[in-house]
Amino acid sequence: MNQTIHRLVQVSDELLQLLKTLTLADNEQRDEEISKVEKLLEERGAAIAAIDSPAKTAEELAAAKTLVQMNKEIVVNLQRLKAKLKIDMDKMALKKKMNRKYDHPYDMTTNEGAFIDKRDV
């Protein structure tokens, strides 16, 4: 089997295993795990770019089928990771907003009592 295809299978498998075991518990561990995922994604991208010809042998075709299955699982797990991170970011933004409201209760403007004249529009 081609060396680059073999390396791609290894990196994809390592990435998939890492994505399946992500905990995202505390900030330091989460940062380390995300940096590992980014590093593996870069390696995987480089391995994909290094492939110069389509699969020719039966072994390469089998590896390609395995890679397609792995890719589907990787995409699902990356979407799950993205959703978790988005939830955390939304929670943090809400927390900041609530803290700002608590610290400066009269800074927020309201639209109460606003009159909009619809005749001239």
**What pLDDT is stored for residue 114 in this prediction?**
66
**What pLDDT is stored for residue 110 in this prediction?**
66
DSSP state of 24: -
Q: Dig out the tokens for 35 from the structure.
A: 């940096």
- For 12-45, what is each residue's pLDDT tens digit? 999 999 999 887 777 778 888 899 999 999 999 9
**What pLDDT is stored for residue 25 in this prediction?**
72
**What pLDDT is stored for residue 67 in this prediction?**
93
114 vs 119: CA distance, rounded Å: 16
**What pLDDT is stored for residue 104 in this prediction?**
79
- For 70-115, what is each residue's pLDDT tens digit? 999 999 999 999 998 899 899 999 999 888 888 877 776 666 766 6
The secondary structure of 64-118, three-state, reads: HHHHHHHHHHHHHHHHHHHHHHHHHHHHHHHHHHHHHHHHCCCCCCCCCCCCCCC
Report pTM.
0.75
